[in-house]
Amino acid sequence: MASMDETFRSPPTQGSPFDLLIVGGGVNGTGIARDAAGRGASVLLVEQDDLASYTSSASTKLIHGGLRYLEYYEFRLVREALIERERLLRIAPHIIWPMRFVLPYTPQARPAWMLRLGLFLYDHLAPNMTLPKCKSLDFRTSSAGKPLNGKLARGFAYSDGWVQDSRLVVLNAMDAKARGADIRTRTRLVQARRVDGLWEAVIENTRDGSQQTVRARIVVNAGGPWVSEVLRERAQVDSTKNVRLVKGSHIVVPRLFDGPQAYILQNPDKRIVFAIPYEQKFTLIGTTDVPWTQAPGRVEISPEEISYLCESVSRYFTKPVTPDDVVWSYAGVRPLYDDAAKNASAVTRDYVLDVDTQGNQAPMLSIFGGKITTFRRLAEHAIEKLQPFLPVLSAPGWTADKVLPGGDLGEGGFEGALARLAAKAPFLDQQLCWRLVRNYGSRADVIVGDARSMADMGEQFGGGLTAREVEYLIAHEWAQTTEDILWRRSRLGLHVTDEDAGRLDAYLRGRQPVAAKAAP
């Protein structure tokens, strides 16, 4: 959280316009809300579902420069992403941490000289990088070669980062709220129109159907896969820019290998698939790139995608992976900027910010494309685009150095925070203590509070989830449903039984009136 000596602003008084109405509660929307609120703007953010319900929770969970983007000459994007990787490691050390990636060499894919050149550029495109640089590996002597098949003799290792993607979104929303933003989940934009130099918007509570009309000086369209719908249908704004939807899917299987390293695997079709340690007991495998022409929303992996990912990994590892090994899968629709590339994998991951004005009044900024790693810089660019229309946004940028909630880990970093929580609450088992600090950082203290035993933590729902944690998520993180808690806040969905989930669901139903009062 921000320090106590900062002055947080209240939302506008009833009837007065907000400076910004932000549509979309993904990483871009919440990142812009945080930045703008911290500069003094009054902000209302509406999200039709839960925070990070769609694209922002369906990523490969990486904070990375995008090694493969060099192949498409995306040097600016890679450099910006590498710089942002360093910043994000500093401001969110509890949910973002370094990870070493192993890249096996196979002559059927890219030539060795191309890999060496790409990795050299990756290590040197951005200044002041702190992570270990690339090095060559001999799989006959390196432990990284142990899970790989005997045909692979050598490869490379390089550094990138791992992120709890949906928690990154929530932490941005929390900080935005602390700085005065009004964050409303389960609230959709019905329509918006320009009236007397302002935007007049109708928003709807999706749970009870109630509607409200609000006014704003600027609308920020961070609708992700819905960006074109918000732009053209709900706001009746024409634009030459288009979004290209690409479905990316992932599978989770029982752990394929020991060690903290991840693997980046080259396929004969030139696509890349990652195999990443996930939730201690599992391996995350992804992603696919499938053109998507249907409406955005809830999407699922196809049998063909499952087979593709299984075959990709089995090509490299000693232990083959079959569809029967899949314990969970998820898919999301990426809203990429349509640059007319023929191959879905070649579509730019860079972002385009488009400002529509009518006589320099009531601007709408729409976001096409983007990736999790560059969300903070995208937010800064968005603010820069809007400064001519809203002078309060001309305040200096500040988000590069201010930690996200829980990121002030104190002396000793993560290990120090872990030791302090263990000393304060010795009744917590080692795994639960680790998970609380990894998810919540210094705010784990808020969850434990004055508890002196596990009984004080309240009802237990499996996987170490307790009523105290549930109440914290409801009161501070906009959680309302079992899915919110198990899959987007605590990441315990893979660790609890159906019976556990059912008990949590019953608990939430039994305390709904209380939850409504406690929610932000």
- Please tell me whether the overall predicted TM-score, pTM, comes out greater than 0.85 for this model: yes
Kindly report, residue by residue over 279-297, the tens digit of the pLDDT: 999 999 999 999 999 999 8
What is the token pair recorded at 43? Answer: 């902000």
Residue 236 falls in which region: left (phi positive, over 0), alpha (psi -120 to 50) or beta:
left
Q: Is the pLDDT of residue 345 over 80?
A: no
Q: Is the pLDDT of residue 360 over 80?
A: no
Kindly report, residue by residue over 13-55, the tens digit of the pLDDT: 457 999 999 999 999 999 999 999 999 999 999 999 999 999 9
Residue 8: pLDDT band by 50, 70, 90 thresholds?
very low
Phi, psi of 301 (to 5 degrees): -70, 145
H-only helix segments in 150-197 = 165-178
CA-nearest of 434, 440, 376, 430 to 409 is 440
Cβ contacts of 265 within 8 Å, gap of 6 or more: 104, 272, 273, 274, 275, 312, 313, 315, 316
Q: Is the pLDDT of residue 461 over 60?
A: yes
SS3 category, 251: strand
- Spell out the domains of the chain, with CATH numbers in brackets: 18-54+167-242+349-394 (3.50.50.60), 95-163+244-337 (3.30.9.10), 413-518 (1.10.8.870)
Any idea which of 68-82, 210-224, 413-427, 476-490 has the lowest mean pLDDT? 68-82
Residue 390 falls in which region: left (phi positive, over 0), alpha (psi -120 to 50) or beta:
beta
What is the token pair recorded at 81? Answer: 């992403």
pLDDT at 342: 59
Mean pLDDT of 419-433: 97
Any idea which of 139-148, 151-160, 234-243, 310-319 has the lowest mean pLDDT? 234-243
Gap between the Cα atoms of 338 and 369, Å rounded = 8
What is the token pair recorded at 62? Answer: 């990486």
- Sheet strands (E) in 118-168: 135-138, 154-163
Residue 343: pLDDT band by 50, 70, 90 thresholds?
low
Phi, psi of 354 (to 5 degrees): -115, 120
Mean pLDDT of 513-519: 39
pLDDT at 40: 98
Q: Is the pLDDT of residue 513 over 80?
A: no
DSSP H or E stretch at residue 516: helix 512-518
Residue 4: pLDDT band by 50, 70, 90 thresholds?
very low
Kindly report, residue by residue over 186-206, the tens digit of the pLDDT: 999 999 999 999 999 999 999
Report DSSP letters for 431-479, one per residue. HHHHHHHHHHGGGHHHHHTT--SGGGG--B-STT-BHHHHHHHHHHS--
- Work out the burial of residue 412: count CB atoms within 10 Å of its CB; fewer than 13 is exposed, 13-18 middle, 19 or more buried: exposed
What is the token pair recorded at 442? Answer: 């210094």
pLDDT at 2: 37
H-only helix segments in 142-253 = 165-178, 227-228
Query: Residue 99 pairs with which residues in a beta bridge?
Result: 160
Cis peptide before 373 (omega within 30 of 0): no
Is residue 147 within 8 A of residue 317, CB to CB? The reply is yes
| DSSP-derived secondary structure letter, 397 | P
Any idea which of 107-111, 374-378, 387-391 has the lowest mean pLDDT? 107-111
Angle at 313 between CA 308 and CA 315, to 5 degrees: 95
Phi, psi of 372 (to 5 degrees): -55, -40
Cβ contacts of 32 within 8 Å, gap of 6 or more: 20, 22, 220, 222, 378, 379, 382, 383
Instruction: Indicate the Cα dihedral angle 509, 515, 516, 519, nearest 10°.
Output: -140
Is residue 286 within 8 A of residue 248, CB to CB? The reply is yes
